[in-house]
Structure 1
Amino acid sequence: MDIHTFYALVGFMLAAYAVIGNDAVQTLGTFIASNSKSFKWYTLWAAASTVLAATLVYGWYVNGGDISYGRLAKIPPMQIEWYHALAPAVLVALTRTGIPVSTTFLVLSVFASTVVLEKMLMKSIVGYGLSAVVAYFLWLVLSRFINEKYNAVSEKSRPYWRTLQWVSTGFLWFSWLSHDMANIAVYLPRELPVHLLIGVIVTLVAWLGVIFYNHGGKIQEIVLEKTGARFMRSATIIDLVYACILWYFKELNSLPMSTTWVFVGVLTGREFAIATANRAQYKFGYVFPLVGKDFAKMMVGLMVSVALVLTVHYLINPQ
């Protein structure tokens, strides 16, 4: 094993853990929160792992061995250096503090040109704004019919909502994987042989098991502190909205974007809508610090990403 292969292996392992530990929790967080009392962690893990394996195998098959679903089309293959492996190491450190960092910015920034990074940033900003606006107006309407501060789903309706939630989570998990798998695949050959595909699946399933065993970890707090997010019906609606927005941007173009920003945008719009519809019980004074904290953490992650890419492109490896 030469040194560059070693860097690629380290980068892949760190990226796999960081992506699963950071972004995947934001995708599966509501699923974990609303099902942890009804199912064992390994049952939820098995369900998520099945979708993960199916998504990777399908993407690998239809894209000629490429598990990134074409998201790396604007980022050419390159020899992995030590600073490429540094990016996911920084991401792991930030994830452990509960900061919702954009994996796309932090990992792909050291591979992409500044032009591509700028386009990724603009697409992510649009994603954040669009998801917040869509979520705000949608939950403003929903608030007329349901009160998300309480889990008012009747016992008779629970099986239907449970089924719908599992289906919506599966769709969301697939949509998210087809976006963010590029953050891991960038350390791998663009055409994976079968044995490497199996190795990738086993590694990701193992990291996923750690996350489910720890009930989401530190980053799960972003989900749990939101109004009713641990309730089955609320979790289902959040997942469906998030999945549809991701699907829209997936079909828009192949440029990578921050799914983290889209997720936070959905939660932001939702919180403001609930506060607007329930002003008597739910004060804006509670919403602004909550939303502001998430936004501030996003900005910390962005600043770290920008600092990293500037260091790589202008100091370590100037072109």
Structure 2
Amino acid sequence: MAANKANQDVEPSELAKLVYQIFDLAKAERTFLIIIGLLVVLVGAIYPYPQIAMWVGFSLAAYSAVANDSIQTIGTFIASNKKRQWYFLWLFMGLIFVATVAYSWITYNGDVTYQRLAVKGFSESPTEFNFLQLAAPIVLLVLTRARMPVSTTFLLLSSFSTKNEAIVSVITKSLGGYFMAFFAAILIWFLVTKYARKAFSGKPSNIWLPLQWITSGALWSFWIMQDAANIAIYLPRQLSTTQFIIFASTVFFGLGLLFYLKGDKIQSIVDEKAGVSDIRAATLVDFVYAGLIYYLKVQSNIPISTTWVFIGLLGGRELAIAINKKRQKIKARKSKKALRMIFKDASKAFIGLVISLLLAFLANNKMREQILEYFGY
């Protein structure tokens, strides 16, 4: 009996605690894991059939890309409009999506990506698929569920690139966008924070609602111009009328599901940032981000990871707010806490980049051959 009591007093090992945590997580996410398992089986069954595979791959990419990138474009919009019915928000953003891709489809002879896939390395329409190319959106779904703001551009485009130089160009432009957004946010919020505390106090005036909706709508449209390539990569570079209708309606109704779920799990990344539930602060974030995305759009046709630009913007903003509050001796989050948040978001995005490149290396035969040839194998 004494031995039994002694055994009860023994603390479980760290390994045992980890096993318990994994078991609890699997139990809590049972339905999601079943869906993922079924999707893996589906992809394994249809990838040898290109005409079916391209639509399945596109459908998975459409939801997973928008769901992961929702924190950048509609995250602050959802956070500051929690009291409004989800279907009003959906119809507003959904119709903007349809109008934006329709303009590109008409203007660029069936291309819905604003010529983002016309650059070298991405211009060839896929004629066959392998399992990992179709599984990439499923990996993205899992990472999104884990609240990881990974780059959908890296994860989805890299496995289709026919030239390694194309991937290098995307990474270079994306990292440049991160640092540009980071330092621009520090400068802007250094200047704004001191005055925003007084200007953003009390109840917002009625003018802020239309301002936010206009700004969020513009940001959403600019994002589509950049990232429609991530979901259209599975499809022909010029879509017929029927193909365009399928393309636009699939994303439109997928957006409805996302708004119904209120941004799903990854929305917490936006919700934890300082003050974004205030419509005035959310409007300012969206306005600055929209300006950055538009500038990078007109700079060149090379696709860019908008995720890296967004986390750079939020990181610079958090740091500027923390330092300003410390200088003004306001009791608030300290600079160290802001730096930890910046590091956490950047490290998650970096992990996503590593996973993307590894997946691309395994899935993309041309990329693998070029790398092995470069190292003399």
TM-score w.r.t. length of structure 2:
0.80
Matching residue of 1:90: 139
| Unmatched tracts of structure 2, length 5 or more | 1-45, 371-377
Pair 1:117-2:167 in alignment = yes
Q: Contact conserved, 1:151 with 1:233, CA < 8 A, in 2?
A: yes
CA distance in 1, matches of 2:356, 2:222: 24
> Is this contact kept in 2: 1:67–1:185, CA < 8 A?
yes
Task: State which of 60, 79, 82 in structure 1 corresponds to 2:127.
Answer: 79
CA contact (8 A) 2:113 2:228 kept: yes
Q: Which residue matches 1:17?
A: 63
Deviations 1:239-293 (A, max 9, x none): 0100000000000000001000001011001001001110132311221221111
The two structures, once aligned, show a CA RMSD in angstroms of 1.8
Give the letter for the 1:292 counterpart. F
Among candidates 300, 305, 311, match of residue 351 of structure 2: 300
Shift of 1:312: 2.7
Q: Structure 1 runs of 4+ off > 2 angstroms?
A: 312-319
Q: Which moved more, 1:198-207 or 1:72-81?
A: 72-81
Structure number with higher relative contact order (C-alpha < 8 Å, ≥ 6 residues apart): 1
> Residue in 1 aligned with 2:375?
none
* Cα displacement (A) at 1:25: 3.5
- Give the alignment of 1:254-293 within 5 angstroms: 254-279=301-326, 280=329, 281-282=331-332, 283-293=334-344
Name the count of aligned residue pairs. 315
Please report how far the alpha carbon of residue 203 of structure 1 lies from its aligned counterpart in structure 2 after TM superposition: 0.7
The 2-side partners of 1:197 and 1:153 are apart by: 46
Q: Does the CA contact (< 8 Å) of 1:101 and 1:260 recur in 2?
A: yes
Identity %: 39
Q: Secondary structure at the match of 2:247?
A: helix
Tell me the CA shift for residue 166 of structure 1. Answer: 0.4
Could you tell me which of 205, 220, 229 is aligned with 1:182?
229
Inter-partner Cα distance in structure 2 for 1:169 and 1:272 = 23
Q: 2:252 matched to 1:205?
A: yes
8 A Cα contact 2:154 2:353, kept in partner: yes
Whole-Å separation in 1 of the counterparts to 2:347 and 2:225 = 27
**Between Structure 1 and Structure 2, whose CA radius of gyration is higher?**
2
Aligned residue for 1:28? Answer: 74
Q: Which residue of 2 aligns with 1:140?
A: 190
Unaligned runs of 5+ in 1: none
1:246 correspondence with 2:296: no
Q: Residues 21-71 of structure 1: CA distance to partner in whole angstroms, max 9, x if unpaired?
A: 11133210000010111x101110110111011111111111111001100
